[in-house]
Amino acid sequence: MKIVLAEKVSPATLAIFQAEPGWEVLTHDQLPNGLPSALADADALVVRSAVQADDALMEHAPKLRVIGRAGVGVDNIDADAATRRGIVVMNTPGANAVAVAELTIGLMLALARKLPTANATMHAGKWEKKSLQGSELRGKTLGILGLGRIGLEVARRARAFGLEIIGSDPFVSAAVARENGIRLVTLDELFAGSDYLTLHVGLTPQTHGIINAKTIATMKKGVRIINCARGELVEDEALLAGLKSGQVAGAALDVFTVEPPKDSPFAALENVILTPHIAGSTAEAQEAVGVQIAMQVREYLKLGVVQNAVNLPSLSHEEYVQLAPFIDLAGRLGAFLAQAGKSGIEGIHLTYGGALAESKTDLVRNAAIEGLLQGSENVNRINALAVAQERGIRVHEEKEETRRGGSATLLAIELHTAGGRSHATATVIHGEQPRLLEFDDIDIEAPLEGNLLVCRNLDVPGVIGKIGTILGEQGVNIANFALGRERSGAKPVKALAVVQVDAPVPNSTLDALKTIEALLEAKPVQLG
């Protein structure tokens, strides 16, 4: 085996490869003819963040089997190109979870006890003991938004301080939350009940700007907010206004929308702690990611064990071409159910019909789970199943002959949630167009792409017209309007509409739709 370490790694990382008899290991300073030349007969490439492992580089590596990224982000690796070439791409999610969790707790303590001000005044030769009276964490309520690896690590440490812990995450099971001393609540309850609010979710359309003027207004007066996740989760102007008004007593920010921040208005506020994106920057964390990727790459090369892959499993070119439309369909159907179905997923049941029943469905399954868990952190088409299992979500697969006659290839997803059952079936028509065929036992044919509005209503006259009228009055252009009816015996009871529109439906339009008496719910869905 030949391993190329294209960037500097720790001695412990290097030692894992060097301990394997007969393995050739080249480090970043042993590439006299350049990286492309070294990759000509390499089996594995290990990078950090500087090297761009793009398709052009892979062209020089015909034997390459695996690319390992010592870290979480894989923006510098062309995963699609790797997939086409049968190269597994691995990263190391969770290796820095403890480091991020410890900084989160540290920032909470610093906010509670005014540590930055105390330090600054002492360095200035002042003794301002009376003005620095703080508060204890004991007895306060910590709200954790996002209960992935980092959120759970924060909870485990926070329990030692006597904090009551509440959490909101639609992708974690009640059992996992209970085991970690967390009381699951809705997002609104999280905001309303937290003395300290810490953010640990990935950046998605649903979480972008989730801390805004509206949500801050619903929080306890005097809440303290900690963000060690992504700067884009917070609308800066809204947080700034909250800090100045006293609605927010303090904030600790390790991440920013623009990094490094320029002329940040937060820098002038004494009740804000700013750190330069250092949550995962510990010697132990950096060592951990290097050692972890070395072990993963070694296990793959020796035993074929794939861990923390970020691309699709290897397929022949022909297999990939045949499955690609259904992989895309699965992701769209999962994302549709995540946005239009019931929340609090406890179980996922996938049924493959027609040609899918005869195919390798790991890719399809993981794409569906990825779509369902789209708001979760670090979920991709390879680690999706592991993430689901880690969160206590049961996944069951079934292959059967199509239930709709003919030779149609169908994918059905059924969710078992805290709020009940949710189910959808879809297919691909003309080889490339994803179509919804059924949602919660109501037959309907609608496109699974673009911006959708999913409406449930009582099956009475006038509802469709009112929906169309309001959308028109609000300037929302309708591209497609699909209808379906639920029946109880021979009599229609409820109806379903899936409306495709040209742009995302604004909140003002959703509020206007709520005035329709027979309309039970209207949910916006955004698909690629």
CB 281 within 8 A of CB 78: no
The catalytic position among 277, 287, 421, 445 is 277
Among residues 48, 65, 230, 416, the one annotated as catalytic is: 230
Question: Are the beta carbons of 207 and 169 closer than 8 angstroms?
Answer: no
Q: Which residues contact 220 (CB under 8 A, 6 or more apart)?
A: 192, 193, 194, 195
Residue 290 CA to residue 9 CA, distance in Å, equals: 7
One DSSP character per residue, 324-354 reads HHHHHHHHHHHHHHHHHS-SSEEEEEEEEEG
Handedness of CA 265, 267, 272, 277 (dihedral sign): positive
Beta bridge partners of 69: 47
φ/ψ of residue 347, rounded to 5: -150, 150
Active site residue 277: yes
Tell me the C-alpha distance between 49 and 7, whole Å. 9
CA distance 240 to 264: 10
DSSP letters spanning 420-482: EEEEEEEEEETTTEEEEEEETTEEEEEE-SSEEEEEEEES-TTHHHHHHHHHHHTT--EEEEE
Find how far residue 71's CA is from the centre of its chain.
17
Residue 33 makes CB contacts below 8 A (sequence gap 6+) with: none
Secondary structure class of 399 (helix, strand, coil): strand
From CA 438, how far away is CA 412, in angstroms rounded?
Answer: 9
Q: Give the distance, in angstroms, between the CA of residue 114 and the centroid of all CA atoms in the same chain.
A: 33
Residue 115 backbone dihedrals phi, psi, to 5 degrees: -65, -45
Q: How many Å apart are CA 215 and CA 233, to the nearest integer?
A: 12
CA distance 383 to 388: 9
| Helix (H) or strand (E) run with residue 240 in it | helix 236-245
Active site residue 230: yes
Report how far residue 438's alpha carbon sits from residue 459's, in angstroms, rounded to the nearest whole number: 17
Residues in the chain: 528
Q: Which of 128, 179, 237, 259 is catalytic?
A: 259
| Residues 103 and 274: beta-carbon distance below 8 Å | no
State the amino acid at position 122 in one-letter form. Answer: M
Q: Are 151 and 167 in contact (CB under 8 A)?
A: yes
Active centre residues (catalytic): 230, 259, 277
